[in-house]
Amino acid sequence: MADDDDLAALLAGDNDLVSRDLRSADLTGKILLARDFSGAHLEKANFNSADLTRSVLHRAHVSQTQFIGARLVEVAANQTPFVGANFSKSDCSRADFSSSHFSRANFSGAILRGTSFRNAFLNEGCNFDNCTIDENTMFDGARVFRPLAKGPAFRNYRVERGVLVRVETSRLDAPAADTRNDDNASGKS
C-alpha cells in the first residue's frame, strides 16, 4: 500500500517524487505532468488514463502497473524494469525507454511514434500487436526474444546474435493515414 505521506505529496502537486512509495495507488485520470518518479515504488499502481507527459521514471519499480490509455508523451524511463506493465492504448510518443527491461509488458494498440527502445531488453511475453510506429521509432540494439521479433512492429529490423539491427530501407511501409508525399516513390527526381 502507498505511504500516506508520499501519496499526499503527489496529490498536493509535489514534482519531486524520487524513491517515494506509491505502491497500489489509484491515480486513474490524474494530471501528473513533469513529475520525477525516479526510483519510486510504483508496483501495482493504476495510472489508467493519467497524463504523465514529460515525467521521469528512471530506475522506478514498475511491476503489474497499469497505464491503459495513459499519456506518456516524452516520458524518460531509462534503466527501468517493467514487469507485467500494461501500456495498451497509451500514447508513448517520443518516450525514452532506452536500456530498460520489459517482461510481459503489453503495448498493444499503443502509439510509439518517435519512441526509443535503444538497448532495451524485450523479453518473453511482451506484446506489440497493433501499435503505431514510425520511422523515428527506435529498437536499435535492443535484445529481443526471437519470436517477438517476427511481429510487424519490428519489420525494419533483423536479429543478429539476439540484438535488433535496423535494415536500411528507403522508407517505412506506413499505414495509409501516415503516408507522406515521397518524390522517390513516385518516380520524380
For 79-130, write each residue's pLDDT tens digit: 999 999 999 999 999 999 999 999 999 999 999 999 999 999 999 899 999 9
Residue 8 backbone phi and psi in degrees, to 5: -65, -40
- Round to whole Å and give the CA distance between 18 and 6: 10
16: CB partners within 8 A, 6+ apart: 36
E strand spans, the chain: 62-63, 81-83, 101-103, 121-122, 143-144, 157-160, 163-166
39: number of Cβ within 10 Å: 16
Q: Does domain 1-170 have CATH number 2.160.20.80?
A: yes
- Round to whole Å and give the CA distance between 156 and 20: 39
The pTM is what? 0.86
Mean pLDDT computed over 24-30 = 98
| Residue boundaries of the structural domains of the chain | 1-170
What 3-state class would DSSP assign to 75? coil
Q: What is the pLDDT of residue 131?
A: 97
User: pLDDT band at 169, cuts 50/70/90?
Assistant: low
Percent of the chain with pLDDT over 70: 89
Distance of CA 156 to the CA centre of its chain: 19
